Amino acid sequence: MKVEIDRAGCIACGQCAGTCPAVFEIASDGLAQVIRQPNAEEEEAVQAAADGCPVLVIHVN
């Protein structure tokens, strides 16, 4: 799995970082960012973060 965030559309709600803090964080500019790609055990949480994003800017492949 590969995960990316379209930071231009991020509203900085923090849902992704709250759902999977090992992969997502809120950067110093206030927007979410991917800090590392998920391992197999984190894929479910990453998908939940993507599905729960209110502006759908988290993309997983």
CATH number of the structural domain spanning residue 36: 3.30.70.20
Residues in the chain, total? 61
Residue 20, token pair as written in the block: 């999977």
Beta bridge partners of 5: 58
The answer as to whether 60 is a domain residue is: no
pLDDT digits (tens, 9 = 90+) for 9-52: 999 999 999 999 999 999 999 999 999 999 999 999 999 999 99
Give residue 36's pLDDT. 98
Q: Tell me which residue of 44, 19, 41 sits closest to 32, measured CA to CA.
A: 19
Q: Residue 7 sits in which domain range?
A: 3-52
The answer as to whether 61 is a domain residue is: no
Give residue 44's pLDDT. 98
Predicted model pTM: 0.94
How many domains would you assign to the chain? 1
The answer as to whether 9 is a domain residue is: yes
